[in-house]
Structure 1
Amino acid sequence: MSTNTIVVLVAFVVYMGMMILIGALNSKQSNNEDYFLGGRGLGSWTAALSAQASDMSGWLLMGLPGAIYAAGTGSAWIAIGLLIGTVLNWFLVARRLRKYTIVANNSLTIPSFFENRFHDKKGVLKIVSSIIIIVFFAVYTASAFVSGAKLFANVFGTGADDNTAYVVGLAVAAVVILIYTLLGGFKAVCYTDFIQGLLMLVAILAVPIIAYISISGDLQGALSAKGVADPAGFLSLFKNDTGSNLTVKEIILGPAGLGWALGYFGMPHILIRFMAIKSDKEVKKSRVIAIVWVILSLGAACFLGVVARGFLNEDLIANGKKELVFIKSILQIFDGNIFLVFIGGIFLCGILAAIMSTADSQLLVTASAVSEDMFKGVIKKDASEKTSLLVGRIAVVVVAIIAFFIALKPNPSVMELVEYAWGGFGAAFGPIILLSLFWKRFNLPGAVAGMIVGFASTVIWDYIPLFNMVDAEGNAIRTLKQLTGVYCLVVGFALALVVAVIVTLITKKPSAEIEEEFDKVNTVEI
């Protein structure tokens, strides 16, 4: 092992040790509300940075810059969509969801909110939503594990194609995340997310700026020197990777389009942060902090992808390693004395921060769905707090193991895993959350129908083979996604919304008690 590698390893050990220490210091929870919701005591800064750090994951530092690096600025529509979604989520959902979950029998989880909102005595919504959480978070957590494995393999091994280094990196990332999630619960996750959110922001801002200075600010010249045939087209927001003009359909409905904005309304690991904020006043502060963080981080990630195409000394597209843009840029920039290498190691921890801040949140939400909603809510309603917490911790381990094996598949893509999980959650939960918060007439049958349709449509759209065709370039067309080029989230969200509204209108309206609770949310100050 070289001196540089040892120095970077020291930086990683120091960072991971800090995260585990925070988990240990927050390891005492007296009940499920403490473990899963932190006693509803999050301040503005912690809530904002925890929500956004858990949102972005390794996708921010690997998937997005890699997409821009390969296809140009035309892929930045995802980032614009996410910014729009962030703003709408904080202004429309955050404050009202926090209040409604308190009014609705102090709901601690998203499934329990659905149950309490509709007075679902049979627990149908709770069971359906818990299953959806387990399925999509297994995929989402796998994307974080893949990011961690690629990071460790390329920094400490011989590359992501070195299977031994990849598997070892995967195991290390999974173990560290598991340790402090199991130890600390929600508070530990949020406090570590706060630190990780700051580190992610510093790293993603600093690296592209340094790279830009290194090419003397001549971006078009650097792109041309590295073989980009049309630098102006590469820098255009309205060109695709072939240099053709993007269509309105691609910009709005495509997998790299504005449709990503719809996903925010259905992300349990983000929504749970809204529920945990301690006051209305803190919500207003949090949304300003969160929106500024998102503007800076998404803008810098896109800038990194563009600059790296003219800065890096190797072609990551030809090598099939476009998602290593951030890692390779850091290794190329901070290649000098030991001090520089250590700083580079700290910046590489930014990727680890992004990975850990999302995976821990997802595992914790999954644990709450299993222990609080399925076990204590349906299977054994008289279970003690201690037993319920134990079941939750076991669920964390089981889901992490499933995610580990998903991440073992050959050459997994962070971008593709996140795209599917984001689409699944957005379609299944997004319309139901919005209608639950803002439509008094919305009822239980409509919620169940909409949720099932949203979930099923994303699975069918992306994975069920319905065709046996080839396109003009000889690519196989098997699914609706391949046939239409439309993102499953857009289709699933629209179908779920329409079905939920129609079923609600043709079935019995909610009880007077449910309507009174809805009205109470409009007037109560909590």
Structure 2
Amino acid sequence: MAVNVPGLVALMVFYIVILGIGIWASRKSKKVEKTCAGAKSEVAIVGGRNINVLVGVFTMTATWVGGGYIMGTAEAVYSPSRGLIWAFGPPAYFINFVLGGLFFAKPMRSKRYVTMLDPFQHRYGNMFTVTLLIPALISDILWVACILAALGGTMSIILGLSSAISIVISAAVSIIYTLLGGLYSVAYTDIIQLSFLFVSLWLCIPFLILSPAVTDISHTIHLNQTIGNSWLGELKLEDAGKWADEMLLLALGGLAYQALYQRILSAASSAQAQVTCFAAAGTVFIMGIPSVVIGAVAASADWNQTAYGLPPPFERGEAGKILPLALHYLTPTWLSVLGIGAVAAAVMSSMDSVLLSSASMFTQNIYKTTLRKQASELELQRVIRVSVLLVGLAGSGLAFGGDSVFALWLVSGDLLYCVVLPQLVCVLHLRCANIYGAISGYVVGLLLRGLSGEQLLGIPPLLLYPGWRVEDGVIVQYFPFRTLAMLSCVICIISVSWLVDRGFCHKLIPQSWDLLGVFEEKKEAEREQVPDPRAEKNCILNTKL
């Protein structure tokens, strides 16, 4: 395929503008560092805690509205085996932000934490915090791979550019401005990226709907003869477990992302953090509507009337690229170029946030508190930059092999949902939780999830749940196994914490068995809080005298 030179030039101009805004924001970040009384590394991580509501809503929405969101939603609506009812993104992310504002924003922001791992470090110590960083880091790398794979597929179709080159260029631009300015660069570039994404996709909708090759989508809501199914989709009783599992994965799993708390903790107050979450719930839902329409249009199109021809994309295994395919073959050339810009904007707005999120957790919770307690602020800033680079390279490497954007999108939040979310709920809202329960829950959640297998990563299931099927020679679980792992983790944390607490407090377990010193520290804290009766008596006598 010949390279679309005008489109490539337009995209390069867009990248230069984004890079310029990132550099401008990095200068603003340096000014804040000079006037900020706190640590300079915290300016890069939480923006000096003075990000206003409008910027906060833009950057929070842009983080979630990435390549996986817009392309994965279109893919789900288009795919004959799924349809609109399986397009979880818009409703799931709406629920995610509402729950974040109601139950997580206030306890996190009011205690002035710097990262999502801070509450674990304060209660459980450094070693357990390291174990929680591992699933968070894996999820972030998979998320980067997901959004870069989405961009690579889009550019190869519309611009005729190699996927590998597209991935490398986009990753390089995101890494550079994230390195320069931290959260300030991320937040201010997000404003431009989200605005461009919104305008571009909505501008494409009328042209798609009015294309001569497209049947009125209201007529194909029930059945489309071309793909043999409706774009509305169908939810059978035997599929209900898988549907609920994937919906809950996206709706609740997002509550365990550092990228969410980075924006919550950058707000000026707890109330502002909550308002940001509630506002973002509405905007993220609206941003998903164009993808739904594009998926429905693609399902209603007669591809034989386009230059693409037959068989349709699904039969060629290109359902994951349906959004760029629809833009390329069903809209004018100049508009498809805007579409590629929209996908590029979505990719960079998510990628920069993910890069900074992993770098923040490693620097604040591992390097600063465990590896180098005496590290200077300059050294910490350098560690953040190196971490951003390494995560970007790891995610970019995985992006070359991603076929289904929707599948990568789901897997990226898998470990967070099964392992980290239960831990976060318990550490924030349950005083009874202790490290013995946390370790037990971690092992149980990780073990159950691992034994269930993962098709995308080529891991066969060793634990088969009711309703499993063999599809294309691969075992597929239709039982809500992720949710089972998550709930088992929660139950294990609570029950083990309670049993161990009762055992030590009632001396059913010898004090010498408290290897982690949890209950020895608890007793010392209680002794410090209980006043000495003799001191109180002397105080009363002195008062009378």
Is the aligned partner of 1:376 residue 2:368? Answer: yes
**Which amino acid is 1:200 matched to?**
L
TM-score (norm 1): 0.83
Contact 2:216 2:300 in 1 (8 A): no
Cα separation, 2, equivalents of 1:130 and 1:380: 17
Letter aligned with residue 409 of structure 2: V
* Among candidates 399, 414, 422, match of residue 413 of structure 2: 422
**Counterpart selection for 1:188 from 179, 185, 198:** 185
Does the 8 A contact of 2:158 with 2:336 survive in 1? no
| Matched-pair contact (CA < 8 Å) for 1:132–1:455 | no
Counterpart residue number, 1:524: none
CA contact (8 A) 2:267 2:273 kept: yes
Q: What amino acid is the match of 1:329?
A: A
Equivalence map 1:286-301=2 (5 Å) = 286-301=276-291
Q: Which has the larger radius of gyration?
A: 2
- 2:507 matched to 1:507? no
Amino acid at match of 1:290: A
1:496 paired to 2:492: no
Match in the other structure for 2:427: 436
CA distance in 1, matches of 2:469, 2:118: 49
Give the number of aligned pairs. Answer: 481
Say whether 1:84 aligns with 2:95.
yes
Q: Is the Cα–Cα contact under 8 Å of residues 423 and 488 in structure 1 kept in the other structure? A: no
Q: 1:448 to 1:210 in 2, by over 3 A?
A: farther
Alignment counterpart, residue 257 of structure 2, candidates 263, 267, 275: 267
The Cα shift of 1:288 comes to 3.7
SS at match of 1:462: coil
CA distance in 1, matches of 2:13, 2:449: 41
Identity percentage of aligned residues: 20
Shift of 1:141: 1.3
Give 1:280's aligned amino acid.
S
Equivalent AA in structure 1 for residue 17 of structure 2: M
* Mapped pair 1:169 → 2:160: no
Query: Does residue 1:112 correspond to 2:110, yes or no?
Result: no
1:514 Cα deviation from its structure 2 partner: 8.9
Equivalent in the alignment of 2:397: 405
RMSD: 3.0
Q: What is aligned with 1:14?
A: 13
Q: Check conservation: 2:95, 2:251, Cα contact below 8 A.
A: yes
Q: 2:345 aligns with which of 347, 353, 377?
A: 353
Q: Are the equivalent residues in 1 in contact too, given 2:152–2:166 (CA < 8 A)?
A: yes
Asked whether the 8 Å contact 1:170–1:404 carries over to 2, the reply is yes
Pairing of 1:377-396 with structure 2 (within 5 A): 377-396=369-388
- Equivalent-residue separation in structure 2 for 1:250 and 1:227 (angstroms): 26
> Which of residues 278, 285, 289 is equivalent to 2:275?
285
Match for residue 321 of structure 1?
A: 318
Asked if structure 2 preserves the Cα contact closer than 8 Å seen for 1:200 and 1:350, the reply is: yes
Distance 2:415 2:525 in 1: 28
**Tell me, what secondary structure is at the counterpart of 1:393?**
helix
1 CA distance for matches of 2:129 and 2:367?
Answer: 11
Q: Does the CA contact (< 8 Å) of 1:260 and 1:489 recur in 2? A: no
The answer to whether 1:251 aligns with 2:243 is yes
1:263 Cα offset (Å): 0.7
Task: Label 1:370 to 1:331 Cα distance change in 2 as closer, same or farther (>3 A).
Answer: same
Using the TM superposition, give the Cα deviation of residue 495 of structure 1 relative to its aligned residue in structure 2, in angstroms: 1.8
Q: Secondary structure at the match of 1:219?
A: coil
* 2:75 corresponds to: 66
Deviations 1:263-312 (A, max 9, x none): 12211111221111112342343234212112212333223211221135
AA in 2 matched with 1:177: S
* Alignment partner, residue 460 of structure 2: 465
Letter in 2 for 1:355: V
Matched residue of 2:314: which SS?
coil
- Equivalents in 2 of 1:474, 1:347: separation in Å? 34
Distance change >3 Å, CA 150–CA 472, structure 1 → 2 = closer
Measured after TM superposition, the shift of residue 456 of structure 1 is 4.3
Counterpart-to-counterpart distance in 1, 2:463 and 2:127:
37
Residue identity opposite 1:62 in structure 2: M
Q: Distance in 1 between matches of 2:288 and 2:479?
A: 23
Deviations 1:92-147 (A, max 9, x none): 212332113x1xxxx3112233212x1x44x1232112222222222221112212
**Given the alignment, which residue of 460, 475, 478 partners 1:485?**
478
Residue of structure 2 in register with 1:178 after alignment: 175
Q: 1: CA distance between counterparts of 2:278 and 2:23? A: 31
Deviations 1:302-349 (A, max 9, x none): 23211221135442112211122221222235426xxxx1x5423321
TM-superposition CA deviations, 1:31-81 (whole Å, max 9, x none): 111011111111112212212221232112211211210132231345433
**Counterparts in 2 of 1:473 and 1:124: CA distance versus 1, 3 Å:** closer
1:522 aligned residue? none
Q: 2:362 corresponds to which letter in structure 1? A: V
Structure 2 residue ranges without an equivalent (≥5): 34-39, 502-518, 527-545
Q: Residue 86 of structure 2: which of 70, 75, 79 is its match?
A: 75
The answer to whether the 8 A contact 2:115-2:262 is kept is yes
Does the Cα contact within 8 Å between 1:259 and 1:487 map onto a contact in 2?
no
Q: Distance in 2 between matches of 1:513 and 1:423?
A: 39
* Normalised TM-score (structure 2): 0.80
**Matches of 1:387 and 1:490, distance apart in 2:** 41
Letter in 1 for 2:277: R
What is the rounded CA distance, in whole Å, between the counterparts of 2:64 and 2:228 in structure 1? Answer: 35
